[in-house]
Amino acid sequence: MSINSAEKTFQNPTLVRARHALPLRNIFTNLFPFILFLLLTCANTQAEDGSRLWLRFDPIENSPLLQSYRQTVTGLTVEGTSETEKIIQTELASALKNLLGQNLSNSPEGGKLIVGTPESSALIARLKLDKELKRLGPEGYVIRTLKEKNKTTVIASQSPIGALYGTFYFLRLLQTHQPIEDLNIVEKPKVKLRVLDHWDNLDGTIERGYAGKTLWNWKELPGKVDQRLKDYARANASIGINGSVLNNVNSNPIFLTEEYLHKIAAIASVFRPYGIKVYLAANFAAPKKIGGMTTSDPLDPQVAEWWKTKVDEIYKIIPDFGGFLVKANSENQSGPQDYGRTHADGANLLAKALQPHGGIVMWRSFVYNADVDPDRINRAYKEFKPLDGKFLKNVLIQSKNGALDFQPREPFSPLFGALRKTPLMAELQVTQEYLGHSNHLVYLGTMWEEFFKSDTYSKGPYSTVARVVEGKVFKYQITGVAGVANTGTDRNWTGHLFGQANWYAFGRFAWNPESSAKEVSEEWTRMTWGNDPQLVNPIVGMMMGSRETYVNYVTPLGLSGVFEKDLHYAPDPGMVDPRREDWSAAYYVRADEKGLGFNRTLTGSRNVNQYHPPLNHRFNGFSTCPEKFLLWFHHVAWGQKMKSGKPFWEELCSRYDQGVSEAGECQKNWDLLKGKVDGERFGAVADKLKIQVEDAKKWRDKCLLYFQTFSHQPLPAGKP
């Protein structure tokens, strides 16, 4: 169901109940016209269930601003007949009608707002922007006020998709109440592949999904395509996402069968006009599992032939298929090492098959086989660094932001800056596996900003992760950022209304890894909650502090891995998993009579040496290691004096306490907004904050009680 149609069909439950409560037929007959009137009126009331995301386009009520917008946008010309151009036309006409209350139909003679490409619009062609647009590429655009042409505003790009991106940018200016009468905006994405990874399973469940089921209805496809897919594509286009991996990295080879390829093709045709390509997570053992072969050995010529034939078939059915994402030799997924081959052999096998079609391979570096190194986080670097330069040109290595696994805080993975000849693609986790699922308000923009701003020193100073990923440090030919999606069938898409901010921020950071978390949160807040500073300031404040608050009550001072088995929601710092040592919380926490934390210095697992100087020295020294990473790199004695002057045990207790009190503050700040936002969304967030505050206390109490069994020191007053 499309966003608009969903709202129109919404029935007010109170009214429905009221109608049933009228017992007498004649009363009903008398009241019928009145009831009908009420029902009709309410049918147009919008359900504030969060389904409109940041694309709300509520009427602008600030009248001087409204006047100036109305004067600037008096007509609309979107030329071109492609599906994308039709979308631009409908999107603009409907958004401007809602925002400005005026109907601007497409006037081919030219109007005050002109959108298109030099190919589709004679007017834009006459502006001679070709050189500039070429430099910006097919996804870049300019938005410019032409002084000499009666202040006409032009949104121009080389391609319709770029024009669509420009359109959403322009609308964002209106949604966030920015001036539009003198624009000169030149935009181009800093990263080529901006992809959402869906860990969606065949049975409709989503691995680490906390917002309902998968949006892809395999049973109905390809015959019926859910309207919501269009809404999903539209939301992604509005933030510049240009790819979706449809299935879980723990992949089912069924997705590669002809039957499923046709279903996937139906999804691809909905996504196409929004600039989104589909990708699949490929199961490396597919030749054996669905191809009837006896081996999946990457060096076997028949296996190579099988992949070539399969890939040719895929492109016949989905001509603009993006390529494969692969999890190999990790957590029971098969891979080239099953046959004594390397990750490069495996990746190149698929890359060769995809290369003639322009497809790519995103090969994950999330591997941690125990025989490589006793410290789990040393393993991926040790496996992949020696393979640098051995991958074909259409392969990217996709690495999680940290070396462990999407913890609330990790230093950047040392693979960023280690691979010089192989493009490294960043994998972020938008879904909050280790960050309170869809119950806790944690804005991830600040985490991603910290990550991207980290200096790898891989080519001297200012070799930030952002610049590595953008291909500026080592001149990568392809660049990419992936995000593990947090979307599902919940009406509000992401379970928690503030989870939408993370989807939004992912798009903005993928487009420009050098984005500012604060600016992004402000944009999102204005579009989602309103422009009143009395809303914007407190909400941005809540968001900006939220990740640090979460870190304080979950993994203060560089702790990691303290989570319960499998679910990764609640604390269980002493958990020992009989299946694997490195799935045990106790393995990471390393609590003992002396202290707490994992010694990764030169006297420990020597992980510090995977970083370029001066980081190796900085992390190695107790006094030079940033406190936020202390327990990640050091085993710290309970009595150790900290920067605050407090002994470590006291510092640890106070960090947990701080987290709990900050969560409470956040709840209080939200309560102050009662009446300033609609009741439905206010209540939904308030309910979640209640859970969060309770959980924060549980985290503090469970962790401190466990650590106390080693520290043998008193808990601060007031604790259990």
Closest alpha carbon to 143 in 126, 131, 122, 129: 129
Cα-only R_g, the chain:
27
Please report whether residue 263 would count as binding ligand BDP according to CB under 6 A: no
Minimum distance between the CB of residue 279 and ligand BDP, rounded to whole angstroms?
16
Minimum distance between the CB of residue 264 and ligand BDP, rounded to whole angstroms?
21
The span from the CA of 16 to the CA of 38, in Å, is 11
User: Of 7, 79, 405, 490, which one is the catalytic site residue?
Assistant: 405
The span from the CA of 623 to the CA of 702, in Å, is 29
| Residues 172 and 527 sit within 8 Å (Cβ to Cβ) | yes
User: Of 61, 182, 331, 694, which one is the catalytic site residue?
Assistant: 331
Q: Alpha carbon of 575 to those of 433, 566, 634, 717: distances in Å?
A: 18, 11, 21, 27
Reply yes or no on whether 331 is catalytic.
Answer: yes
Q: Which is nearer to ligand BDP, 435 or 715 (CB)?
A: 435
Q: Which is nearer to ligand BDP, 406 or 648 (CB)?
A: 406
CB nearest ligand BDP: which residue? 405
Q: Which is nearer to ligand BDP, 291 or 488 (CB)?
A: 488
CA angle 433, 438, 439 (to 5 degrees): 110
Please report whether residue 249 would count as binding ligand BDP according to CB under 6 A: yes
Query: Rule CB under 6 A: which of 178-197 touch ligand BDP?
Result: none
Query: Rule CB under 6 A: which of 358-377 touch ligand BDP?
Result: 366
Q: Which is nearer to ligand BDP, 234 or 327 (CB)?
A: 327
Closest alpha carbon to 455 in 396, 421, 412: 412
Of the residues 250, 295, 609, 713, which one makes contact with ligand BDP according to CB under 6 A = 250
Minimum distance between the CB of residue 568 and ligand BDP, rounded to whole angstroms?
6
Of the residues 52, 208, 263, 277, which one makes contact with ligand BDP according to CB under 6 A = 208
Q: 12: burial class by Cβ within 10 Å (0-12, 13-18, 19+)?
A: middle
Instruction: Print the SS3 string covering 225-245.
Output: CCCHHHHHHHHHHHCCCCEEE
Closest alpha carbon to 364 in 340, 391, 338: 391
Give the count of beta carbons closer than 10 Å to the beta carbon of residue 128. Answer: 9
Minimum distance between the CB of residue 482 and ligand BDP, rounded to whole angstroms?
11
Please report whether residue 379 would count as binding ligand BDP according to CB under 6 A: no
User: Of 433, 449, 657, 662, which one is the catalytic site residue?
Assistant: 433
Minimum distance between the CB of residue 566 and ligand BDP, rounded to whole angstroms?
8
The span from the CA of 255 to the CA of 265, in Å, is 12
Closest alpha carbon to 435 in 490, 495, 489: 495
Minimum distance between the CB of residue 366 and ligand BDP, rounded to whole angstroms?
5
CA angle 48, 51, 55 (to 5 degrees): 100
Closest alpha carbon to 544 in 669, 654, 639, 422: 669
Q: Structure tokens of 432? A: 């909050």
Please report whether residue 217 would count as binding ligand BDP according to CB under 6 A: no
Query: Rule CB under 6 A: which of 598-627 touch ligand BDP?
Result: none
Q: Count residues near ligand BDP (CB under 6 A).
A: 10
Q: Which is nearer to ligand BDP, 396 or 539 (CB)?
A: 396
The span from the CA of 699 to the CA of 659, in Å, is 10
Q: Structure tokens of 442? A: 């944690």
Please report whether residue 207 would count as binding ligand BDP according to CB under 6 A: yes
- How many residues make up the chain in this entry? 720
Please report whether residue 433 would count as binding ligand BDP according to CB under 6 A: yes
Q: At what angle do helices 445-453 and 517-528 cross, to 10 degrees?
A: 160
Query: Rule CB under 6 A: which of 67-126 touch ligand BDP?
Result: none
Reply yes or no on whether 405 is catalytic.
Answer: yes
Q: Which is nearer to ligand BDP, 84 or 201 (CB)?
A: 201
The span from the CA of 425 to the CA of 478, in Å, is 9
Encoded one letter per residue, x for contact with ligand BDP by CB under 6 A and - for no contact, window 308-347 reads -------------------x---x----------------
Minimum distance between the CB of residue 381 and ligand BDP, rounded to whole angstroms?
17
Query: Rule CB under 6 A: which of 381-410 touch ligand BDP?
Result: 405-406
Residue 508: which residues within 8 A CB-CB, separation 6 or more? 239, 240, 445, 515, 520, 523
Minimum distance between the CB of residue 197 and ligand BDP, rounded to whole angstroms?
9
Encoded one letter per residue, x for contact with ligand BDP by CB under 6 A and - for no contact, window 135-174 reads ----------------------------------------
Minimum distance between the CB of residue 191 and ligand BDP, rounded to whole angstroms?
20
Where on the chain is the footprint of ligand BDP (CB under 6 A)? 207-208, 249-250, 327, 331, 366, 405-406, 433
Residues known to be catalytic: 331, 405, 433
